[in-house]
Structure 1
Amino acid sequence: MCNCFSFNPDPTVRHTVWTVCIGGGIFWGAIYGINQAQVQRAISLPTVRSMQIAVWLNFPGFVLIQTLACSVGLVMFAYFHTCDPAKLGVVKKTDQVRHIYTV
C-alpha cells in the first residue's frame, strides 16, 4: 500500500510528505550547496551571476540523469518482478529475503 501523501509528523516513519521534503531538501542542499565540485565551480567563476547561470545550466542535465535512472529502475522491476530467490533455491529460508526488505 502506498501512503505517499501521508502527513504523519513522526520522523521514524520512512516516507511521509515531511520526511521526503525536509530530508530531500537537506540532501539536495548538501549536493548543490556544500559539495566540493559545486563549490569549486562557483568560486572559479568571475561573478555571482555567472555562478547562478552555471547552476541553472546544470539543472537540465540533472533532470535527464534522474529520469534515466528512475526509468532503468522501473524497467528492472518490471523485468524481475516474478523472480523469487526462495523458489529458485538461491536462498534456503525465506526469512533471509524478508529480512532485507523489512530493514
Structure 2
Amino acid sequence: MCFRQLFSNGSLSIHDVVQSDTGSYRCVVHVTSNDGFTWTYMSRRSVISMPDLPKFDVQPSDRTVGKGQPVVFQCITVSRAAAKVIRMNQAGNG
C-alpha cells in the first residue's frame, strides 16, 4: 500500500513506492505580495523511475517424451533490468 505524507515544510515522503508513483516531481511555491502581485517559484525537477518488470518472450510448453529421452523447456525473458530465470521442478522447488 502506497502512503504519501506532505510535511509543513513542503517535503513529500512516499512509502512503499509503486509503479503509478513514477514520474516528475517538483516543489512549487506561490508568494503573493501586499499589493496583490503573485510570484511563482519552482524547484528543479526530480524523477522517480522503476525498472520495468520482466516479461516472458518465450514460455515453456508441454512436452511428451519417452523414458530416457532428453527434454528442453525454453524460458526467455525481456527486461531492461537484469533478470534471473530460476528453474522450477515438478514440486515447485528451485
Fold-level match, TM-score > 0.5? Answer: no
Give the TM-score of the pair, scaled to structure 2: 0.23
Give the number of the structure whose residues are more often strand, by fraction.
Answer: 2
Highest RCO, 1 vs 2 (Cα 8 Å, sep ≥ 6):
2
Give the number of the structure whose residues are more often helix, by fraction.
Answer: 1
Computing the radius of gyration from Cα coordinates, the structure with the larger value is 2
